[in-house]
Amino acid sequence: MKILGFWSGNEKGFVHVISNFVILGVILGVGFISLFVPIVSASNFEEGFPIYSGNPNRKNITLMINVYWGTEFIEPMLDIFDAQNVKTTFFVGGMWVTQEEELLKEISGRGHEIANHGYSHKDHKKLNLTQNQDEIYNTHQKVVEVLGLGMKLFAPPSGSFGDITLQVAKNLGYKTIMWSKDTVDWRDQNKQLIFSRATTNLKNGDLILMHPTSKTLEALNDIIISIKTQGFSLVTVSENIA
C-alpha cells in the first residue's frame, strides 16, 4: 500500500526503523517496570518464612519430636534411635527444660539436634512482639545455660504463628519450622494409625511431626524400618533443609 508515494523505494527501510523503535520501547518498558517490581530469588525465602519441608532433591526425611510432656517415653525412644543409627531433632519447651536438664543433656549427648519450641506452649499468633520474643529468647537462653550451645530452629507450639512471630524469630537468628506430615499422635493413641501417617506417600524432604507418647514409642521402630526400606535416609531438620 502506498500513501502519497512515501513507501516507494523506502518501504523496507522504514519498516526496519519502526521495528527498532518498537524493540527499544519494549526494552525500556521492561527496565522501567523492574525498578518497581522486586526480583524474586531463592535468597528471598531463606529467612523470615516458615519452612514446611526439606530439600526436594535429596531422599532425606526427618522425624521431628516436639517435647513438653511424655518424658517417660523419651529414653526408650533414644534407645531405638541408637539401635537404628538415626539422629533426629528434638524441639524442646523451655518449661520442660527447667525440669529435665539431665535428660536434655542426654538427648544432646546421644548426638541429636536440639531446637526451640517456645517457653510455655502459648499460641504465638495471639502474642505481641514482646511476648513472642520472651517465649523464644528465654528458651534459647535456658538451653544455652544447660548445654552451652544455642539453637537456630524454632517450631511454634501447635503450629500457630503470625507475622510478628516470623519477624521475631528472624531477628533472633531463627528459621521457623513447620511440617509436611503430622502423625497427630498426641490425640490419636493408635499405633497403626501413627505408623500409617508417618510412612504413607513419603516424598523427599518430608518433616514428620511426632511427640513422645506411648503409642509413638510402640510404632517408632517399625516407622524407621519402613522409611529406610522405601529408600530414604533419616536425618536432622538442619540437614534436611540444607
Model confidence over 78-130: pLDDT tens digits? Answer: 999 999 999 999 999 999 999 999 999 999 999 999 999 999 999 999 999 99
Q: Which segment of 10-14, 126-130, 158-162 scores lowest on mean pLDDT?
A: 10-14
Residue 21 confidence (pLDDT) above 90 = no
User: How high is the mean pLDDT of the chain?
Assistant: 85
Q: In the structure, what pLDDT confidence band is assigned to residue 36 with cuts at 50, 70 and 90?
A: very low
pLDDT for 192 beyond 70: yes
Mean pLDDT to the nearest integer, 37-45: 30
pLDDT of residue 16: 44
One DSSP character per residue, the chain reads --STTTTTTTHHHHHHHHHHHHHHHHHHHHHHHHTTSPPP-GGGGSSSS-B-S--TTS-EEEEEEEESS-GGGHHHHHHHHHHTT---EEEE-HHHHHH-HHHHHHHHHTT-EEEE--SS---GGG--HHHHHHHHHHHHHHHHHHHS----EE--GGG---HHHHHHHHHTT-EEB--SEE--TTT---HHHHHHHHHSS--TT-EEEE---HHHHHHHHHHHHHHHHTTPEE--HHHHH-
Question: Average pLDDT in the 197-222 region?
Answer: 98
